[in-house]
């Protein structure tokens, strides 16, 4: 590994600070880890705020969760079992962050699947985000509830009534996944207040997934997006949208304003081009 262990521990503290500052973990909540070899994982300790981590607090465990650095007075998080289950399932994963991001957690509490075909950023950087059923924290039930949902392209899972887990090939990229997840959920909740959402149509979604593939991010939904398969999980989110304005709402003579349905409010070509360019620029900028 190119980075030495001490610099990885320092990076874990820096990421902890960002997690805490963003309000993703209150009190001592949350934990993150980095896999440094086939049988060694660095993990945050139990009982310490993610905002106040120092490198000496970071614990080292083996792939069964046994703490190796026995002289360390800090004890590894009990949730390391979730991290290890993910590392075992996905050899490409090098870092895991478990957190309680408030906006994403509301979806996990409501058990409303994250809708698709709404926000290009979320489609490109997150893809499909499954929701696990509720499981008791610190027990084997928790990793058992999550791992069956992890496919080769999954990078984020919502944990029922609990929070989220993000994972990727580096700690910083894993942190970006977490930020994007909560930002996306915040946007969805704000959209909900407006009562209407334009959904990308099958052609727009297919073009977006093609762009994603071009940047080395394959998405299995590309195989069926042209047939309109993306968005089949959207109904629970869209169910309570107030999509039709009551006809008595306006008597000023401006005519009856009919709101478009969710599929006919398609974006213009020029607008879509701009959107794709924006995503492209962000990817090239190294996000
Ligand atoms: Zn938790």
Report CA(27)–ligand 1 centroid distance (Å). 11
The pLDDT profile of the chain, 287 residues, written as one tens digit per residue, is: 457 999 999 999 999 999 999 999 999 999 999 999 999 999 999 999 999 999 999 999 999 999 999 999 999 999 999 999 999 999 999 999 999 999 999 999 999 999 999 999 999 999 999 999 999 998 999 999 999 999 999 999 999 999 999 999 999 999 999 999 999 999 999 999 998 899 999 999 999 999 999 999 999 999 999 988 888 889 999 987 876 544 444 445 444 444 444 443 445 556 656 666 766 676 666 54
Report CA(104)–ligand 1 centroid distance (Å). 13
Report CA(31)–ligand 1 centroid distance (Å). 8
Report CA(163)–ligand 1 centroid distance (Å). 6
Report CA(29)–ligand 1 centroid distance (Å). 6
pTM (2 d.p.)? 0.83
Domains delineated in the chain: 5-194 (3.40.225.10), 202-248+261-284 (no CATH)
Helix (H), strand (E), coil (C) string for 139-196: CCHHHHHHHHHCCCCCCEEEECCCEEEEEECCHHHHHHHHHHHHHHHHHHHHHHHHCC
Report CA(45)–ligand 1 centroid distance (Å). 13
Report CA(278)–ligand 1 centroid distance (Å). 34
User: What tokens appear for 240 in the block?
Assistant: 């309570």
Report CA(42)–ligand 1 centroid distance (Å). 18
């Amino acid at each position: 590994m190119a980075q030495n262990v001490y610099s990885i521990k320092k990076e874990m503290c820096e990421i902890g600070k960002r997690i805490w500052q963003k309000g993703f973990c209150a009190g001592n909540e949350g934990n993150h880890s980095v896999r440094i070899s086939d049988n060694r994982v660095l993990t945050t300790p139990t009982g310490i705020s993610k905002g106040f981590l120092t490198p000496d607090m970071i614990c080292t465990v083996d792939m069964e969760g046994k703490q190796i650095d026995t002289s360390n007075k800090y004890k590894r998080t009990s949730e390391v079992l979730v991290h290890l289950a993910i590392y075992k399932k996905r050899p490409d994963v090098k870092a895991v962050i478990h957190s309680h991001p408030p906006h994403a957690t509301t979806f996990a509490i409501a058990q409303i699947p994250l809708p698709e075909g709404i926000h290009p950023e979320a489609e490109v950087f997150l893809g499909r985000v499954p929701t696990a059923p509720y499981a008791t924290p610190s027990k084997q039930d928790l990793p058992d509830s999550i791992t069956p949902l992890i496919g080769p392209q999954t990078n984020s899972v919502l944990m029922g009534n609990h929070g989220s887990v993000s994972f990727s090939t580096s700690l910083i990229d894993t942190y970006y996944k977490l930020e994007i997840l909560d930002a996306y959920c915040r946007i969805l909740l704000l959209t909900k207040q407006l009562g209407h959402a334009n959904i990308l149509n099958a052609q727009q979604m297919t073009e977006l997934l093609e762009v994603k593939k071009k940047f080395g991010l394959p998405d299995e939904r590309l195989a069926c997006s042209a047939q309109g398969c993306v968005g089949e999980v959207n109904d629970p989110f869209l169910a309570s949208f107030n999509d039709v304005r009551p006809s008595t709402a306006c008597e000023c003579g401006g005519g009856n304003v009919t709101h478009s349905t969710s599929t006919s409010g398609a974006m213009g070509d020029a607008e879509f081009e701009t959107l794709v360019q924006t995503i492209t620029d962000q990817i090239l900028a190294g996000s």
